[in-house]
Amino acid sequence: MQADAVKGPSSSGRQTTDGRPRRWALAGTGRFGTWTGLLALSAGAAFLTSCAPAASPPRPLATVRSVAAPPPSVASSVYRLAPPAGPFSRAVYSLPVRRREVFITIDDGWYPSRRVLGLMRRRHLPLTAFLLERAMQEHPRYWKAFVVAGGNIQDHTVTHPVLTRLPYSQILAQVKGQAAAIRTLTGRRPLLLRPPYGAYDAAVLRASYAAGIPYVVLWTASVPPGPDGYRGERLGIATRDGKPLRPGEIILMHWDPGLYGALRYLLSVLHRDGLTVGNLPDHFTR
Ligand SMILES: [Zn+2]
């Protein structure tokens, strides 16, 4: 167990977890070199292009481009997506932004880290945690501290199933169950759902909307963990098109051992590229 880990998962906990993409095509050199790669989701690939209600595959919402000078006020510097009319939630892969910012999202929650909390406080780092209900309930005090440190907690279901393989009633129960638990813990309803494995279809979008969560948030980039989580030597950043990170991208990570080091690595790359970390929920309207 990592030295700073609050507490490891229960013996049964890890069995339902994961959800990480299993296969990444990467190219690059060195731990701190520039890594680029292609997102090659094994479990999620089919689902990522199988979004009905539209017949065509889901696309990123907007062309992302940087702007030379930041606008004068915060209010005018943030695009907020308009909520969908229903009955389907809106799938989002990246965001239109005016500033050179990206968004860090961290899934599951089995290995909370005190060092990550310290990093958030020191760097004013607004992280988004997509938590499983089971993982969240193992460390409720930690997650309250996470919110106080500037983090926000969003819905990743109760037990991490492949939602597209469930009947509608069970999809709804998975999404609603964790939404209720988040509200009980934090006092706030979640605004965003990340379906495990990125697997969604029309039924998932409909259940999410019915559960009061108007956005289903996927990703365009990740810091993929290896077989030993983030503890291995080779860290890299994988982007969907193999190019360096661009403003508006949503980055996937996991609450795995070594997350602190992986975040430090990611922040060093962002700093080098002149990118900052934005607060994801600020870009959505309920
Ligand atoms: Zn997951």
Neighbours of 268 (CB within 10 A): 11
* b/e burial code for range 100-129 (CB count within 10 A of at least 16 → b): bbbbbbbbbbbbbbebbbebbeeeebbbbb
User: For residue 282, how far is its CA from the centre of ligand 1 (angstroms)?
Assistant: 22
Distance 69 CA to ligand 1 centre (A): 36
Q: Which residue has the tokens 């700073």?
A: 4
pTM confidence score? 0.77
CA of 180 to the centre of ligand 1 (A): 18
In tens, the pLDDT along 209-246 reads: 999 999 999 999 999 887 777 876 678 999 998 999 99
Going from the N-terminus, what domains does the chain have, and what CATH number goes with each?
A: 33-48+90-281 (3.20.20.370)
Cβ count near 280 (within 10 Å): 24
User: 33: which 2 tokens?
Assistant: 């070199």
Determine the average pLDDT of the residues in 54-76.
41
Distance (Å) from CA 17 to ligand 1 centroid: 6
Cis check for the bond before 87: say yes or no (omega within 30 of 0).
yes
- For the segment 25-51, the average pLDDT, to the nearest whole number, is 31
d(CA 276, CA 148): 20
Angstrom distance (rounded) from CA 194 to CA 131: 9
Place of tokens 């169950």: 177
User: And the tokens for 196?
Assistant: 């495990």
pLDDT of residue 225: 82
Q: Hey, which of 70-79, 80-89, 103-112 has the most confident mean pLDDT? A: 103-112
For ligand 1, a single-atom ion, which residues have Cβ within 5 Å? 19, 107-108, 196
**Distance from the alpha carbon of residue 253 to the mean position of ligand 1, in angstroms:** 9
Query: Ligand 1 centroid vs 76 CA: distance in angstroms?
Result: 33
* pLDDT of 4: 55
CA of 16 relative to ligand 1 center, distance in Å = 9
User: What percent of the chain clears pLDDT 90, i.e. is strictly above it?
Assistant: 66
Residue 227 pLDDT: 76
pLDDT at 231: 78
Asked if the model's pLDDT at residue 30 lies above 60, the reply is no
The average pLDDT across 249-264 equals: 95
- Three-state SS annotation for 189-233: CCCEECCHHHCCCHHHHHHHHHCCCCEEECCCEECCCECCECCCC
CA distances to 37, 43, 52, 157, 270 from 16, rounded to whole Å, are 28, 15, 26, 11, 32
Q: Are strands 152-155 and 128-131 parallel, antiparallel or unpaired?
A: parallel
Task: Determine contact, residues 267/120, Cβ cutoff 8 Å.
Answer: no
What is the whole-number distance in angstroms between the Cα of residue 71 and the centre of ligand 1?
36
232 vs 27, more confident: 232
Q: Once rounded to an integer, what is the mean pLDDT over residues 188-200?
A: 98
Euclidean distance between CA atoms 274 and 15, whole angstroms: 39
Q: How many of the other CB atoms lie within 10 Å of CB of 91?
A: 24
Strand partners, 36: 27
